[in-house]
Amino acid sequence: MAAEAATGSELIQVVALLTAGVVAVPIFKRMGLGSILGYLAAGLVIGPFGLRIFSEPEAILHVAELGVVMFLFIIGLEMQPSRLWGLRQQIFGLGTAQVGFCALLLTLVGVIGGFPLNVAFVAGAGFVLTSTAVVMQILEERGEVSSPRGQRMVSILLFEDLMIVPLLALVVFLAPSASEVTLSERLVDVAIGVASIVGLVLAGRYLLNPLFRVLADSRAREVMTAAALLVVLGSALAMQLGGLSMAMGAFLAGVMLSESTFRHQLEADVEPFRGILLGLFFMAVGMSLDLAVVAENWHLVAIYVVAYMVMKAVGIYVVARFRSSHRDALDRAVVMAQGGEFAFVLYSAATGVGIIDGEANAILTAIIIVSMILTPFAIIALRAVMPKDEQSLEGVEVADGLDSSVLIIGFGRFGQIVSQPLLLRGVDVSIIDNDVEMIQAAADFGFKVYYGDGTRLDILHAAGAGRARAVLICVDKAETAVRIAEHVKAEFPLIPVLARAYDRGAAIGLMNVGVDFQIRETFESALLFGGATLEKLGVDEAEVAEVIADVRRRDAERLELQISGGLQAGRRLMKGNIPEPTPTPLTPPRRPGQAMNEGAADALGGRGAAAAEEGA
């Protein structure tokens, strides 16, 4: 009975954990506060200082840290060794500058607050270690992990993960009993750490690919998944045993497999576990917030949260301004201003060697957690006060006074191909686009593209739409193409307008506006592709041409019906792949029909009446 009660209690906790995350995260995302804050709030509600469904968040936190580990493994899969080598200056140069300068500023905050130098350094150094989980989650939600801005943050995070090793060594050195640790013992610890890294690199280079090749031949999907988890957790364990960061071990394993043919399979296998465990990590952090300590020392917590976050943001901004714009530097300063999960490890080590006591550890941990909670709010505040990001037009000419035979609006992959027959024929062409980066890239290939928004009537006048012999609308977005067509046909009704349509809906919209020609961007290529497939299957060229002509006829007829009847009209003209029922051929009856009553006789006519009389 006791075992059953314990099992039931554990099941209640699992259900409560999942329920809290499932309910809180969508609500917070709907409110614009992000998923991280949702997980933190959910953990706070069900933790020991909320509903008390969980009483030991530390146990959950240890398991949930695997989410961060798997996150770093996936990031490592995206970082080929050559790419990582290309980031070496950012990792060691930018990372060293930011960590060193911020550590100095935060140590000064502690010294000014009246703490001893060693305590102030440990407290500040812990806060310097930014939360990998928070920053990576923010970058992922923004879609900026692979952007230059995101890569700089990832580089700094990687350097901070490396810094946990020397910082733990410094904690031992600064401890009151540091004299008991000899130089040889310290050198042995360093050697073990280096040996762990070398061993992991060698194993990744010479063992992992052959291992996965053998497992792939076995065609057992579950074994591949188990092997992926084994690589991640085994690498993390190897680094931990060597006194290093588990996340760093997983990252190195990912880098070693980044050029493997199994990279995408590994990412797909690990991704579900990563997402769940990372959410669990944030919930465990929320549970770990000791509200009693915060309430008892609220003034101290509030002062140091603000002081640490502001000073760290100032340090990050100053370092970032050497290489980045004001906007990018400010964004990095706000996103990375919080403390991180590795601070918990550093503070625990400092408590173990006597630099800080248990109460100071609880206060510092609360400061870290509160800073993580405040980060989403700080980002929202920054977004509210910062003006919208305006594109720099440096080196780009704005469309003004253009006078060409043809005006092309939009110079993406479609517009670039459209321009070729015109330019080869010697037609005078003006091109406008509102993507500065594309304009700058086009210049490298010999194209003069002017900056201009085709949806604005004044830009159309400046670009020479009224003087052109034809206007070509080649933009990507369907609604933008229709809006430009409306402006051109209303303002310059005699100018021929040819437009690219994204899909059937866009084509109908353009036809309703009155463009002279429209084409769906994938229609011709799809017909060519289908015809080539039929030829590969052995169909005669004449028959292929006949089939393609039939498709064109059906499509044109269907499009005409859709203009008046909506997108669902003309469905009968499409050939689906669901077999349609075929009626059974009619066969003559063996005997003529006979009427059994007067009503049936009337229905059957004279023949039926005669038969009825005979029957009578």
User: Each residue of 452-504: pLDDT tens digit?
Assistant: 888 888 889 888 898 999 999 999 888 899 999 999 998 999 999 999 998 88
Angle at 461 between CA 460 and CA 462, to 5 degrees: 90
Is pLDDT of 611 > 60?
A: no
Tell me the mean pLDDT in the region 115-124.
87
Sequence-ordered alpha helix ranges (H) in 321-473: 326-335, 342-352, 358-385, 413-424, 436-444, 457-462
Is pLDDT of 315 > 80?
A: yes
Banded model confidence at residue 137, pLDDT cuts 50, 70, 90:
confident
Q: How far is Cα 49 from Cα 52, in angstroms, rounded to an integer? A: 6
User: Bridge-partner residues for 406, per DSSP?
Assistant: 429, 470
Tell me the mean pLDDT in the region 531-558.
90
Tell me the mean pLDDT in the region 512-536.
90
Banded model confidence at residue 157, pLDDT cuts 50, 70, 90:
confident
Selected residue with higher pLDDT from 388 and 194 = 194
Is pLDDT of 585 > 70?
A: no
The most confident of 113-122, 185-194, 261-270, by mean pLDDT: 113-122
Selected residue with higher pLDDT from 45 and 66 = 45
Q: How far is Cα 16 from Cα 504, in angstroms, rounded to an integer? A: 47
- SS3 state at 324: coil
Q: How far is Cα 378 from Cα 312, in angstroms, rounded to an integer? A: 14
Half-sphere exposure of 491 (CA within 13 A, CB side): 19
Helix (H) or strand (E) holding 433: strand 429-433
60-74, 101-115, 135-149, 160-174: segment of lowest average pLDDT: 60-74
Selected residue with higher pLDDT from 395 and 400 = 400
pLDDT value, residue 472: 94
Banded model confidence at residue 359, pLDDT cuts 50, 70, 90:
confident
Selected residue with higher pLDDT from 614 and 582 = 582
pLDDT value, residue 10: 66
Tell me the mean pLDDT in the region 288-309.
84
**Residue 120, Cβ neighbours under 10 Å: how many?**
19
Tell me the mean pLDDT in the region 186-191.
68
pLDDT value, residue 66: 66
pLDDT value, residue 498: 94
Q: How far is Cα 334 from Cα 383, in angstroms, rounded to an integer? A: 10
What percent of the chain is predicted at pLDDT more than 90? 14
Banded model confidence at residue 212, pLDDT cuts 50, 70, 90:
confident
Banded model confidence at residue 179, pLDDT cuts 50, 70, 90:
very low
Share the mean pLDDT of the chain. Answer: 78
Selected residue with higher pLDDT from 183 and 209 = 209
pLDDT value, residue 217: 73
pLDDT value, residue 2: 45
Concatenating the DSSP letter of every residue in 170-214 gives HHHHHSTTGGGS-HHHHHHHHHHHHHHHHHHHHHHHHTHHHHHHH
262-291 pLDDT tens trace? 666 666 777 666 667 777 777 777 777 777
Tell me the mean pLDDT in the region 247-268.
69
Selected residue with higher pLDDT from 32 and 465 = 465
Banded model confidence at residue 612, pLDDT cuts 50, 70, 90:
very low
517-520 and 497-501 as β-strands: parallel, antiparallel, unpaired?
parallel
Task: Map 451-500 to HEC letters.
Answer: ECCCCCHHHHHHCCHHHCCEEEECCCCHHHHHHHHHHHHHHCCCCCEEEE
Is pLDDT of 225 > 80?
A: no
Tell me the mean pLDDT in the region 78-85.
64
pLDDT value, residue 587: 55
Banded model confidence at residue 543, pLDDT cuts 50, 70, 90:
very high
Is pLDDT of 357 > 90?
A: no
pLDDT value, residue 579: 67
CB 239 within 8 A of CB 245: yes
Is pLDDT of 507 > 70?
A: yes
Is pLDDT of 261 > 80?
A: no
Is pLDDT of 404 > 80?
A: yes
Banded model confidence at residue 78, pLDDT cuts 50, 70, 90:
low
- CA-CA-CA-CA dihedral for 53, 58, 64, 65, to nearest 10: 160
pLDDT value, residue 534: 92
Q: What is the DSSP letter of 590?
A: S
pLDDT value, residue 571: 75
User: Given strand 517-520, what is the order of strands in its sheet?
Assistant: 450-451, 429-433, 406-409, 470-473, 497-501, 517-520
Banded model confidence at residue 521, pLDDT cuts 50, 70, 90:
confident
Please list, in sequence order, all residues whose beta carbon lies within 8 angstroms of the beta carbon of residue 549, skipping any fewer than 6 positions away.
none
Give this prediction's pTM. Answer: 0.55
